[in-house]
A and B are shown apart, each in its own frame.
Chain A
Amino acid sequence: MTTHLEFAPLERGMSRTTNRVLLVIGAVGVVAILYRFLFGLGAATNLSNQYPWGVWKAISVAAAVALATGGFTMAALVHVFHRRAYEPLARLALLIGVLGYTFGAASLAVDIGRYYNIWHPAWPTMWQGNSVLFEVAMCIMSYLMILYVEFTPVICERYAGRVALPGGLARWNGAVEALLRAAERLTGRVLSVLLLVGIVLSCMHHSSLGALMLVAPHKMHPFWYTPVLPLLFLLSVLAAGFAVVILVSILTARGAGRRPDLPALSSLSLYVLVFLAVYLVARISDLLIREVHLHLTAGGVEPLWLLIELLPGGLLPLLLLGSARVRNTPALLGWACGLVGFGVLMNRVNVFVVAYRSAYAATRYTPGVFELLTIAGMLAIFTIAFRYAVATLPILPKTAETLSMVSDTADEGAGEPGDAAPEGVRECAHA
């Protein structure tokens, strides 16, 4: 498994019923997105002059990239620290990164008013180095490019030597072939450097994402306004990234009728446990040092949101992962990792939406129906992309132990890239 590790597309496709459901949700999302582009942000969102940022920024951008961190943490683990045992998971993690970050970038284009100017931050005459958002934009853009380069060998491996375009396009076969070979050679040469740059860029933009709301001290609830917010963001994604990889891996195995790679997953979950513990210690001691835990009894909605973030999204999975039985039972492990992702998702919602208070608006922002439909639709579309990718590209390790006896008609989920909704885990509970 270590020296002769090979990857292969799944031999059998995934459940059609699930695909159809996803397509319907995706289609609804496309309509919602069209509505936004035709009628503007005012019609499609509940944003206002007092509440300029909503769930698209919090969930579709900030949380999506946080949950897709597995791409870089796994790269560090496997290629920098040479933990070969995790190599079977490396491409899955990379795919989560590619899809999650693309999801974030696409969502950003939906959210900003002048989407056709999205390239402006990259144009040197418009650089504005004092802006935290500039730093975030530059790092995410470059990291996305690096993810694509990292992913190129996977595509080359699949198609190089067997390009067969349909019909009239066939005459381009030679050219595409040459292109793939060139890409393979080129990426092979720069890959290890790019891997390292990608890791640095990731650390930079995750901490900068945490610095974004530090510009608004008067509008932020003290639960979520702390000078160490950048550090907390970085620590939280270390845990969340691996957790999402584990969850998606379990769901994918289930959907593909395979046995999850439990030894690798349960030992990876120890990293989640450790990073989550470090994050929670930092998070909670920050609350105590700043004495803001006193606000817990102050009323309002904030204490409730904080507790949702910290109890089911923090301490509960910490306890669960602390148990060897949980770590060695796929269904329980999936649940625990799902909760870790849920906690980080809630944290981003809290930081970017719940904590933000306008002094002048009579009512608080709550997301509009188009905002939520857009998120659901995009999620469905990216889940379809994920299922398609594992079915056609060499993402998962080649394995002899494919459980062919699992019925072809069974309806199984295949994991949700960039998201760790705990609902999705229910399916693997029957495993």
Chain B
Amino acid sequence: MNRRQFLGWGCLGAAAPLAGGRAAASEASGAASDNARGVLVDTTECVGCRKCEWACNREHHLTDEPLESYEDTSVFEQARRMDTAAYTVVNRFDNARNPERPIFMKVQCMHCVKPACVSACLVGALRKQDAGAVTYEGWKCIGCRYCMVACPFEVPAYEYDNALTPLVRKCSLCFERTQREGESPACVAMCPPMALTFGRRSDLLALAREKIAAHPDRYIDHVYGEHEAGGTSWLYLAERSFATLGFPTIGDAPVQELAETIQHSVFKFGLPPLMVLGALGLFMKAFDEAGKDAVRKPAASGEESAV
């Protein structure tokens, strides 16, 4: 839906409460804090070694397999997505301009600046940390999977096969590890060609812009994640359009904005519901008095008008 269509609803009175709630919605989600850190992925540097996958799996106890087993490139034959046993995966894309050098895209949770999953979670199990990471507390989770519906990047995975204590699984930006001074996420620390850079989001954006300015032939002029869905902590540089590299084309507004706006305008301070309640009470009284005589007459209900 575009803005014009959206405003077209003004005549039905829908836009008025929506506009009123705009401030509330942005206040609720918070902006990127100065401390927020993220990762810049220079996909032109990535060689598809899958060492980040191994490092991530080992860090999160998802694998016992040796590093060598990750040298298997047959996995690239099919596009993969994250799941409960892999919080990050690398996919390969053919490169028509340079067939010798395919393009590799590492994917994981984007750690949105205004995460839809956090907005969606009804018990606050998902949380946006000041440090940038979107973290998850399993003991709160009820397993409704609304976060998965909400995430525009289709990131969270669910332990469907666990009958008793299933959890939502996704990249944590190695939150605990990076709380320690000087530590970067496991995948970043492992990456041999330095395709991954961990740092303050604002610094990473500046670095990305520098790279684009220095090598306009090497990169398209688009830092994916700078604005997408309100901005993300993971930022990407690439040599061709992200739509051709398995990344969704998403507008600049956080996807949950409309829902949050409606929610807040209708329910802020509980005022509108209270007004409806009051009105109903008045009706109840008014109709009671008006109906006193009518009630005594036997109701010829078949004739009664419905409007």
Contact = CB atoms under 8 A, between A and B. Distances in A.
Interface of A: 1-3, 37-43, 45, 47-50, 52-53, 76, 79-86, 111-115, 117-118, 120-121, 123, 126-135, 137, 192, 196-197, 199-200, 203-204, 207-208, 211-219, 222, 225-228, 230-231, 262-264, 266-268, 270-271, 273-274, 289-291, 356, 358-360
Interface centre among A111, A120, A203 (most CB of B within 10 A): A120
A37 B145 contact: no
B149 A216 contact: yes
B12 interface: yes
A86 B255 contact: no
A131 B122 contact: yes
B262 to A, nearest CB: 5
B259 interface: yes
B301 A360 contact: no
B280 to A, nearest CB: 5
Contacts of A222: 1
Given A47-B145, A131-B120, A227-B6, 4 more contacts: A42-B160, A82-B288, A196-B277, A267-B303
A241 to B, nearest CB: 14
19 contacts: A40-B161, A41-B166, A49-B83, A80-B287, A114-B142, A114-B143, A114-B165, A117-B141, A131-B120, A132-B120, A196-B277, A203-B273, A215-B149, A219-B149, A227-B9, A227-B262, A264-B302, A267-B303, A270-B307
Contacts of A131: 119-122, 146
Nearest to B81: A360
B263 A215 contact: no
B283 A81 contact: yes
B267 interface: yes
B29 A227 contact: no
B124 A127 contact: yes
B116 interface: yes
A226 B1 contact: yes
Task: Name the prevailing secondary structure of the A interface residues.
Answer: helix
A132 B267 CA distance: 11
Contact of A227 (B83, B157, B258): B258
Instruction: Please classify how large the interface on chain B is, using the bins under 10, 10 to 19, 20 to 34, 35 or more.
Output: 35 or more
Contacts of B277: 196-197, 200
The 8 closest A-B pairs by CB, nearest first: A113-B143, A270-B306, A42-B160, A85-B301, A40-B163, A263-B302, A52-B148, A134-B122
Contacts of B273: 200, 203-204
B193 to A, nearest CB: 27
A359 B283 contact: no
A359 B124 CA distance: 27
Contacts of B304: 83, 85, 267
Contact of A214 (B146, B259, B264, B287): B259
Interface string B134-157: 000000111111101110101011
A112 B142 contact: yes
B120 A80 contact: no
A352 to B, nearest CB: 9
B88 to A, nearest CB: 14
B284 interface: yes
A274 B163 contact: no
A263 B119 CA distance: 49
A196 B263 contact: no
Contact of B281 (A41, A196, A227): A196
Nearest to A328: B302
B299 interface: yes
